[in-house]
Chain A
Amino acid sequence: MESIMTIEETGWIYILSYCGAIGLILIGTVAMVIYHHLIRIILGLILLEAGVNLFLITVGYRANAVAPILMGDQVPVAMVDPIPQALVLTAIVIGVGVQALALALVIKTYKAYGTLDTKELAEKIAQESGTHLIDGIPVSLPAPALVRQIAEEKTP
């Protein structure tokens, strides 16, 4: 250990790290909400997951600490909390798997409809299934109209 950080320096690490985590979470969530393009939504998801992972890592961070590995008889003065690191490792693996699955589904969806815009997709799917779209929300025929329709079909 050549240099030992002062309390102020450590404080800045925490502040920057937490701000980064919260910022990533916010950017990711906003991106998922405002964009209509599936790839961008998935990118927002990736940012969100990165933010959560950074948050977990920061929770386990200790000032002037080393990696939590026991080497022989040497017992280091301070070690970072190993549990969040194990959690983040698992979370990253799960995240990558889910993202790969998401992209596979994106490919399948694109092959079926030729678009990745969520609005166009909703329209095309609604056309396919025969429901109506009002302001982008699929709405089925109201019940009275349906009953009338069936009655009309019955009387030739």
Chain B
Amino acid sequence: MNGIWLVALPLLGAFLLPIIYRHLPKKVGKWTGPFILLINLGIALELWRSIPVDSAQSIAMGGFPAPLGIIFYVDRLALLFVMLVVLGTLILWLGSELGRIREETLLLLLVGGSCGLALSGDLFNIYVFYEIVAVASYGLAASGKTGAGYAASLRFLILSALGSALLLLGIALIYAVTGTLNLAHLATLAPYMLNDIVGLSAFALMLIGLGVKAELFPVNTWVPEVYITAPARISALLGGIVSKLTLLIVLRFLVLIYADTDAPLLLLSLGVLGVLTGELAALRATDLRQVLAFSSIGQLGLVAIAFSIPGPDGVIAGVVLALHHALVKPALFMLTEAWGGHFKRLVGAAHVSLWGTLLFIVLVLSLVGIPPLPGFWAKLLLLKGAFATENVWYHTAIAVVLIATVIETAYFMRIVRLMFQQQSEPPIKPRLHELIPASTFAALLALSIVYVGTITKNMNEIAVKVADKKIYISNTFPVWHRDFKKNALTENVKIPNSPSSKEETQE
């Protein structure tokens, strides 16, 4: 099975969906999107089964071998994030009524772009898929069709376009220094060519650019506005799931290109500032969705801190934190469909819908990190990883994370208290089908408690392999070698500074 279908299928579906809606009965159109997502999930599972932990499917586009051609790198980590996006979108898609053509088209575009972002092994391809994801999310952010929604989406667009221009500038700097865009090729060149101030400034530019979607500290001002004005399912998707993908890209950069530089400390400081500002802002907010938005800034700051820890410890902590947040935050956002807005609307919720309140409490406790809920294990892994570094900055980060956890507990417990208060005017009772998406996410969370041992073992294996850049390089370059011999035309082409050709001569 070719991993390229993961990207091609949703993109194709996005463009065909309006035609299907127009020319076929409405029922067919309604189920096309979920059907495509299901197939995508199946392909991802099949690839997961067929690709062993230490290898990867490396696909050269258009028959041009790496590093000249564009590479898709399908390994288990990328597949994990692909499955996360597809499954999350599927749950949120089925959770509300079907048949919103425009939104569904954009959703498929978003899934296609996200899968491309996760699988891409080429800097410029990352930029292109980043823009696809960004354009789809501008449209989705404005799909609430309110004036405030348009204004929030516009502000998101301006910030994000500024970010992607900076991302492109960073990519241009890297290309100017090294002359390649292939991540594996860059990984071989980086220790000699990018270990200086130019390489670091390129990383800073790319980090700010990617940080807009990942809600990193200085460029996250769009977050509260968009998440308040967009429909709950869109906030859930953007804040809970899509935001993690750009952090995956940052992780790849750190592992492959900037392993032995000061770049992780830059990500660490942005993560720490994100955690602090996010949690403090959430403490002051009085709108439930605003609280969730600020808390997601804080949680993504945690993931950023985890990814900045060098070695497999950081990878596993970050991936587990990201997965946990991707289950909990969408569920919480879906609960706000009935209870969104000012806290006052929540007072007495426990007397109206006990199930909804229980869900809320369990999810919140997991987010804070109360054992035996998965959030506890995720935070524990982060603390363990940060302690093991023996670097004073990481130890400071631990202190900040612990303080932030206390703040997090404070504002969430305040909300829970409000839910149990008596109120003469009871809040809106959420309809049963509105609770289904949140319940599904909570069920997945419960499953992860049961299988915590297996998950940890699997994640450990993946993390060790991902943190080793030699595996990435050796998985990408065999394709190049094979095609190199096959293709007589390229025999005269010498790729400069290719270490693998040196290795060959040594042998």
Contacts and interface: CB of A to CB of B under 8 A. Distances in A.
Bound together: yes
Interface of A: 25, 28-29, 32, 38, 41-42, 45, 48-49, 52, 55-56, 59, 83-84, 87, 90-91, 94, 97-98, 101-102, 105-106, 108-109, 111-113, 121, 125, 128-131, 139-143, 146, 149-150, 153-154
B168 A52 contact: yes
Contacts of B370: none
Contacts of B40: none
A129 B151 CA distance: 13
B286 A146 contact: yes
Interface centre among A52, A111, A113 (most CB of B within 10 A): A52
A42 B158 contact: yes
Interface stretch (B27-35, B339-347, B391-399, B466-474): B339-347
On chain B, which size bracket covers the interface? 35 or more
A140 B172 contact: no
Contact of A83 (B134, B148, B175, B286): B175
A91 B168 contact: yes
24 contacts: A32-B158, A41-B158, A45-B162, A52-B168, A59-B175, A83-B175, A84-B175, A87-B124, A91-B127, A94-B128, A101-B135, A102-B154, A102-B161, A108-B142, A109-B154, A111-B147, A140-B285, A140-B287, A143-B414, A146-B344, A150-B347, A154-B421, A154-B423, A154-B424
A105 B139 CA distance: 9
A112 B147 contact: yes
Interface in B149-183: 150-151, 153-154, 157-158, 161-162, 165, 168-169, 171-172, 175-176, 181
A143 B286 contact: yes
A97 to B, nearest CB: 7
Nearest to A118: B155
A13 to B, nearest CB: 16
A98 B169 contact: no
A137 B157 CA distance: 19
Nearest to A56: B172
B283 interface: yes
A129 B457 CA distance: 48
B102 interface: no
B131 interface: yes
Given A105-B154, A112-B151, A153-B344, 13 more contacts: A32-B158, A45-B161, A45-B165, A49-B161, A52-B172, A90-B124, A101-B157, A121-B151, A125-B147, A130-B342, A140-B286, A143-B414, A146-B343
B154 A38 contact: yes
Contacts of B423: 154
A86 B228 CA distance: 39
Interface of B: 124, 127-128, 131, 134-135, 138-139, 142, 146-148, 150-151, 153-154, 157-158, 161-162, 165, 168-169, 171-172, 175-176, 181, 228, 283-287, 290, 342-344, 347, 414, 418, 421-424
Q: How would you classify the secondary structure of chain B's contact residues: helix, strand, loop or mixed?
A: helix
Given A143-B283, A146-B343, A84 B147 contact: no
A91 B285 CA distance: 39
A130 B162 CA distance: 30
A98 B151 contact: no
A97 B109 CA distance: 15
A48 B148 contact: no
B161 A98 contact: yes
A109 to B, nearest CB: 5
B158 A102 contact: yes
Contacts of B135: 97-98, 101
Contacts of A94: 128, 131
Contacts of B343: 146, 150
B147 A140 contact: no
Nearest to B342: A130
A105 B157 contact: yes
A139 B146 CA distance: 21
A125 B161 contact: no
Nearest to B123: A87
Contact of B284 (A41, A48, A140): A140
Contacts of B147: 108-109, 111-113, 125, 128
